[in-house]
Structure 1
Amino acid sequence: MKKYTVRPNKDADAWFLKIEDVAPEKEFDKMTEAIEAVEKVAQDNTPSQLIIYNHKNEIVDEKNFN
């Protein structure tokens, strides 16, 4: 199962789509844009899990796609 994450950069003024929580794949200006993009990627690559972090690097949502 692939794991995808949406995480803020260190200043929380940009959001990263990460695969397996390693190097960022894409950068977005808004958290909502990042979530929309990663949900599509996760749905296209099932089974997968999406973990979303807020600006304090706290988990705010987890989704599984089967």
Structure 2
Amino acid sequence: MKEYSVVPNKDVTGWYVKIEDVAPTDLYDERDQAIAKAEEIAQDNKPSRLSIMNQNHEVEEERKY
């Protein structure tokens, strides 16, 4: 199962989409944009799991595809 995550950058001015918790793929200004892109990638690569982090890098939500 592939792992994807949406995490804030260190000063929470942007959001990264990460694949397998390695180097981030893209930086987005809005959290919702990052979540939408991560969902798209996760759905295209089933089976997969998407973890959405909050500002404190705590898992806020997990979605499976």
How much does 1:31 deviate? 0.5
In 1, Cα distance between equivalents of 2:35 and 2:25: 13
**4+ residue stretches of structure 1 with deviation over 4 A?**
none
- TM-score with structure 2 setting the length: 0.97
Equivalent pairs, count = 65
Structure 2 stretches lacking a partner, 5+ long: none
Say yes or no: does 1:10 pair with 2:10.
yes
Which amino acid in 2 is paired with 1:56?
N
Kindly report the root-mean-square deviation, in angstroms, between the aligned alpha carbons of the 2 structures: 0.5
- TM-score with structure 1 setting the length: 0.96
Matches within 5 A, 1:1-66: 1-65=1-65
Tell me the secondary structure at the aligned position of residue 5 of structure 1: strand
Provide the identity percentage: 48
